[in-house]
Amino acid sequence: MSESVICGIPYKDFLIRVEEFHGYRSPGILLGGIMVENALRELGPTPYLNVVTETVVCLPDAVQLLTPCTIGNGFLQILDWGKFALTAYDRMTLNGVRVWLNYERMADYPLINSWFDRSTENRQKPVFEEIAKEILSATSNLINHRSVRLYRALKISQRKPTGLCPKCGESYPLDHGPTCTSCQGEAYYE
Amino acid sequence: MSESVICGIPYKDFLIRVEEFHGYRSPGILLGGIMVENALRELGPTPYLNVVTETVVCLPDAVQLLTPCTIGNGFLQILDWGKFALTAYDRMTLNGVRVWLNYERMADYPLINSWFDRSTENRQKPVFEEIAKEILSATSNLINHRSVRLYRALKISQRKPTGLCPKCGESYPLDHGPTCTSCQGEAYYE
């Protein structure tokens, strides 16, 4: 277990990086890290690597820790689909590999199963070291992968014309409407 | 300039961290870093810090670099509003500070102005060191801040019941519909 390596990073160093970035050791980041590793291995050398995750939870942090793709540089896209899956692809060729969990085999891993099962009422937070052991032993048994071809690159590279909102005076993309989204009544603050 | 400090990090070290995480030195991250610093200073000690950015571009990376808030741990929320603004707040008290750019004063900073103005057809990529000098000299002149109170905490802490999608067999939040979002025709891949 201590000899495991995730994306070239020794397990112990990986945990330190997880704590620094994500704040705490999380089963989702560990499982996500192994998924990222699987995807990159299957994809092979990729000069224009992009990643899309299908959930906002945990997975984006695994990607940001282990690849050059971040949400702020646009090479990571996040879909709020609630699916624990991701696709790594080359934004030039649009060839990618999607990885997701093998739900049929999950029953063989009681701690992962119970951690993942959101329907359990009395779901207890697992002891990280115990579930980590299960995750590291399961690895590719639990991860499915498939080559995919993207319809289009998901990075938004097109510049949109901006202007100042007539209500608040701040800059916004003019295609959002006559005022900015916030002044359209979406503000989250008073 | 070389003596500048951003969120307690000496400028030169900050640049190294930016390159490591974001991939390259970017005016947006530098300006964003100064905005984060302003927001945190005005907010004062905040035990339950959350941040919401109003754009997906650059700003989320400044937040993830300089605070414990990431997209994957849920303490950073990202609104795709195309507004270069962010709010730091305490998710318990809902008291926050919103920072945004002072567009009236921007004309005084020609390099920042030209970098920010998406409407310029022949917009040239600025030399980072030159625009950085302007950003560091402008600092709080260019940044507005205001205390705000959030309507509600934006972190999604509620667990949603999940189940297996009858089409693809993968786990998804049941409130998304009879099948997962992907199987509803939203898939980005073939």
**Region of poorest pLDDT, from A43-47, A154-158, B7-11, B103-107:** A154-158
B144 versus B153: the higher-pLDDT residue is B144
**Integer CA distances (angstroms), A118 to A125, B99, B155, B157, in order:** 12, 37, 17, 12
Nearest to B160 among A87, A118, A180 (CB): A118
B103 close to A165: Cβ distance less than 8 angstroms: no
**A 105-124 residues with CB below 8 A of B?**
116-119
**Region of poorest pLDDT, from A41-50, A93-102, A154-163, B50-59:** A154-163
Given a cut of 90, whether residue A118 has pLDDT beyond it is no
- Which residue's structure tokens are 């900073």? B109
Q: What is the mean pLDDT of chain A?
A: 92
Given a cut of 60, whether residue A2 has pLDDT beyond it is no
Do the Cβ atoms of A188 and B163 come within 8 Å?
A: no
pLDDT band at A20 (very low <50, low <70, confident <90, very high): very high
Sign of CA dihedral B106, B110, B111, B116: positive
Per-residue pLDDT at B155: 74
pLDDT band at A121 (very low <50, low <70, confident <90, very high): low
Nearest to B118 among A23, A100, A160 (CB): A160
pLDDT tens, residue by residue, B83-137: 999 999 999 999 999 999 999 999 999 999 998 876 656 567 789 999 999 999 9
* Mean pLDDT, range B41-68, rounded to an integer: 96
* Mean pLDDT, range A108-112, rounded to an integer: 94
Per-residue pLDDT at B122: 59
What is the rounded CA–CA span in Å between residue B187 and residue B190? 8
Instruction: Name the minimum distance, in Å, from the CA of B185 to any CA of chain A.
Output: 12
Given a cut of 60, whether residue B1 has pLDDT beyond it is no
Q: Is A138 on the interface with B (CB under 8 A)?
A: no
B7 close to B40: Cβ distance less than 8 angstroms: yes
Per-residue pLDDT at B47: 93
**ipTM of model:** 0.91
Given a cut of 90, whether residue B140 has pLDDT beyond it is no
Question: Quick one: B42 exposed, middle or buried, by C-beta within 10 A (0-12, 13-18, 19+)?
Answer: middle
Given a cut of 60, whether residue B48 has pLDDT beyond it is yes
**A 76-105 residues with CB below 8 A of B?**
78-79, 81-85, 87, 96, 98, 100-101, 103-104
Q: Which two tokens stand for residue A137?
A: 């032993």
Per-residue pLDDT at B130: 95
What is the rounded CA–CA span in Å between residue B154 and residue B151? 9
Q: Is A9 helix (H, G, I), strand (E, B) or coil?
A: strand
- Of the candidates A87, A82, A141, A77, the residue with the CA atom closest to the CA atom of residue A109: A141
Based on its alpha-carbon atoms, the radius of gyration of chain A, rounded to whole angstroms, reads: 19
Q: Is A179 helix (H, G, I), strand (E, B) or coil?
A: coil
Sign of CA dihedral A73, A75, A78, A84: negative
- Of the candidates B22, B42, B65, B9, the residue with the CA atom closest to the CA atom of residue A69: B22
Nearest to A189 among B24, B149, B169 (CB): B149
Do the Cβ atoms of A64 and B60 come within 8 Å?
A: no
Q: Which two tokens stand for residue B112?
A: 């920042």
Residue type, A162: T
Residue A9 CA to its chain's centroid (Å): 18
Q: Is A125 on the interface with B (CB under 8 A)?
A: no
Domains and CATH numbers, chain B: 5-149 (3.30.1330.130), 160-190 (3.30.60.80)
DSSP codes of every residue in B61-129 = HHHHHHSS--TTTTSEEE--S---EEEEEETTT-EEEEEEE-TTTGGG-HHHHHHH-TT-TTPPPPPHH
Q: Whats the size of chain A, residue-wise?
A: 190
DSSP codes of every residue in B128-143 = HHHHHHHHHHHGGGGE
Do the Cβ atoms of A161 and B84 come within 8 Å?
A: no
Contacts with B190 from chain A: Cβ below 8 Å:
148-149, 151
Given a cut of 80, whether residue B65 has pLDDT beyond it is yes
pLDDT tens, residue by residue, A123-180: 677 899 999 999 999 988 999 999 999 998 887 666 788 999 999 999 999 999 999 9
Per-residue pLDDT at A159: 73
The interaxial angle of helices B59-66 and B11-22, nearest 10 deg, is 120
Given a cut of 70, whether residue B168 has pLDDT beyond it is yes
Q: What is the mean pLDDT of chain B?
A: 92
Do the Cβ atoms of B151 and A188 come within 8 Å?
A: yes
**A 29-48 residues with CB below 8 A of B?**
29
Given a cut of 80, whether residue B156 has pLDDT beyond it is no
